[in-house]
A and B are shown apart, each in its own frame.
Chain A
């Protein structure tokens, strides 16, 4: 049981480039989330998916798009990266009964 996995672990982009952050969970959880965490700050919710086939905006969705590809996978796309998107990105899923949220190890993104 790998839990929540994220790829890549590190990425450097130039302003204007695009990329997709991948997230997968093998716990059969319905709900998945994308957060960003800036240095010294708490986590902020970017997008979430309550169940397969649905996605919704969180607190800070501008500049991002998401795809819930299937129950396991939830990807986050930056269409035109900006320096303000330099951050650590965490994916998470939630257990339907206990409501415990499980987090991936994070993707450290730098936009120059």
Chain B
């Protein structure tokens, strides 16, 4: 699986958009980008995933650059409950794949 690089921490004001970047310059053509988050002491929670097109769901939007070497997770209107560690992971979606977590980005949403 390709390696990902994320900033260790970010701050965001409540109600503003939170844009979390992820670099995955060695991603291969058939690897997907997944985002999970972990709110304090809980199990990680799936947010969104994509291959090359931008994706949106009720939680977030995922923007993947055209060369696929980086992506951005967007929380459009961050709330205090979005304070968490956010993990960007790339993986194949064929057969069995281990999911390898890095250290993620700690997002702090403040009033």
Taking Cβ atoms with an 8 Å cutoff, the residues of A that contact B are 4, 31, 33, 35, 41-45, 48, 50-51, 58-59, 88, 90, 92, 94, 98-106
Looking across the interface, which residue of chain B has its beta carbon closest to that of A99?
B93
- Give the segment of B16-24, B63-71, B97-105 that binds chain A: B97-105
Q: Enumerate the 9 nearest inter-chain pairs by beta-carbon distance, A residue then B residue, closest first.
A: A103-B43, A50-B96, A43-B101, A100-B46, A42-B101, A42-B103, A99-B93, A103-B44, A90-B43
A101, B104: Cβ atoms under 8 Å?
A: no
B41, A103: Cβ atoms under 8 Å?
A: no
B104, A31: Cβ atoms under 8 Å?
A: no
Please give the distance in Å from A102's CB to the nearest CB on chain B: 7
Tell me the interface secondary structure of chain B in the complex.
loop
Please give the distance in Å from B33's CB to the nearest CB on chain A: 12
B87, A94: Cβ atoms under 8 Å?
A: no
B36, A101: Cβ atoms under 8 Å?
A: yes
**Interface-centre pick from B43, B49, B93 (highest chain A CB count, 10 A):** B43
A42, B102: Cβ atoms under 8 Å?
A: yes
Contact A106 B104, CB 8 Å, known A50-B96, A99-B91: no
B32, A105: Cβ atoms under 8 Å?
A: no
| B45 beta carbon closer than 8 Å to chain A | yes
Q: 22 A-B residue contacts at CB 8 Å? A: A4-B43, A31-B96, A33-B99, A35-B101, A42-B104, A43-B44, A45-B99, A59-B100, A88-B41, A90-B44, A94-B99, A98-B49, A99-B49, A99-B91, A99-B93, A99-B97, A101-B36, A101-B44, A101-B46, A101-B99, A102-B46, A106-B41
